[in-house]
């Protein structure tokens, strides 16, 4: 089931549209050029998770693209309308009560100066839940950029969440065609970057028992990757729980030497990586217990 609510000045709470009917102009630059931005977040029981972090990141993507987008309060109202409509429509046996909320803005129809903006709420894909439990196999794939390019070439929009995800989807198809579930991109200078729809995390354990040091590391946020709202929220919760935190730079060898590696994102949440390029990462029991510990920290983390 899918619900659409357009942000429209004539409707303060948003205008509900029929998702089974054409609703977008064929000349919309989101369709003709992929010129726009989006956010994907999870709602549980009708409540969007990490809403402020997602609205803030939508704002920074909009600034990177020079897009004049609606106020945060307008998005909050449209989300509330869309989630209420969605919850009315889902059947009682849809017990998980989870929904994927997308906030989408395009540059609008050709020749107009008004962006098109809408909220889409839909049922989460079943595969994500399964992968949280069973883990994933990942391929390292070259993204072809060096890790300093984002700073030198802001017009490439590397840190923005733009609608141009065709390359990310192609990388996932490549992984599926080659027996893997997902991808970790590397830079041309040999750094670990991110997944096509996720951030990369690794854990290092030192010592044992009471004095054990547990360290959580993610790639440098200025290396041309999207700063993950899930990684940010988990880091806050993990710090409070006594973990040490680090921000790269990371190389593939760091992944192979880690006690555990995860891909983390708003909808699938924490997916443990079983193998990278066919090589097992860490030990299965350590991976499982760290995944349980960090998943519990993520529950309710904003
Ligand atoms: N990196 C990329 C390229 C993404 O597309 C995403 C999410 O879709 C992430 C990282 C993780 O971001 P978040 O945790 O905010 O979902």
Is the per-residue pLDDT at 96 higher than 70?
no
Question: CB of 28 closer than 6 A to ligand 1?
Answer: no
- Rounded CA gap, 258 and 63, in Å? 36
Average pLDDT of the segment spanning 161-188? 97
Ligand 1, atom 4: closest residue by C-alpha: 197
Tens-place pLDDT, residues 13-72: 999 999 999 999 999 999 999 999 999 999 999 999 999 999 999 999 999 999 999 999
Tokens 């030198």 belong to residue: 152
Question: CB of 40 closer than 6 A to ligand 1?
Answer: yes
Tens-place pLDDT, residues 125-171: 888 889 999 999 999 999 999 999 999 999 999 999 999 999 999 99
pTM assigned to the model: 0.95
How far is ligand 1, taken at its centre, from the CA of residue 13, in Å?
27
How far is ligand 1, taken at its centre, from the CA of residue 157, in Å?
14
Average pLDDT of the segment spanning 182-209? 96
Question: Which of 228, 230, 235, 267 to probe ligand 1 with, by most ligand atoms within 8 A of CB?
Answer: 228
């Amino acid at each position: 089931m899918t619900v659409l609510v357009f942000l429209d000045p004539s409707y303060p709470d948003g205008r509900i549209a029929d998702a089974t009917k054409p609703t977008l102009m064929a000349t919309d630059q989101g369709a003709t050029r992929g010129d726009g931005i989006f956010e994907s977040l999870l709602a549980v029981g009708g409540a969007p998770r990490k809403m402020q972090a997602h609205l803030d990141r939508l704002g920074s993507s909009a600034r990177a693209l020079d897009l004049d987008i609606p106020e945060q309060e307008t998005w909050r109202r449209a989300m509330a309308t869309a989630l209420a409509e969605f919850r009315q429509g889902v059947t009682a046996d849809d017990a998980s009560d989870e929904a994927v909320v997308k906030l989408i803005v395009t540059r609008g129809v050709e020749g107009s100066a008004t962006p098109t903006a809408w909220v889409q709420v839909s049922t989460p894909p079943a595969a994500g839940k399964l992968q949280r439990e069973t883990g994933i196999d990942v391929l390292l794939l070259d993204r072809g950029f060096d890790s300093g390019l984002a700073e030198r070439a802001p017009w490439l929009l590397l840190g923005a969440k733009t609608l141009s995800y065709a390359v990310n989807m192609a990388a996932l198809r490549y992984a599926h065609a080659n027996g893997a579930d997902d991808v970790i991109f590397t830079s041309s200078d040999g750094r670990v970057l991110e997944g096509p729809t996720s951030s990369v995390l690794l854990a290092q354990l030192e010592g044992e028992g009471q004095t054990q040091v547990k360290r959580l590391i993610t790639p440098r946020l200025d290396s041309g990757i999207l700063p993950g709202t899930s990684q940010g929220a988990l880091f806050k919760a993990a710090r409070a729980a006594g973990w040490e935190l680090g921000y790269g730079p990371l190389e593939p060898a760091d992944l192979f030497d880690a006690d555990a590696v995860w891909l983390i994102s708003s909808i699938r949440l924490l997916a443990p990586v079983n193998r990278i390029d066919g090589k097992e990462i860490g030990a299965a029991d350590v991976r499982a217990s760290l995944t349980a510990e960090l998943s519990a920290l993520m529950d309710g983390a904003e």
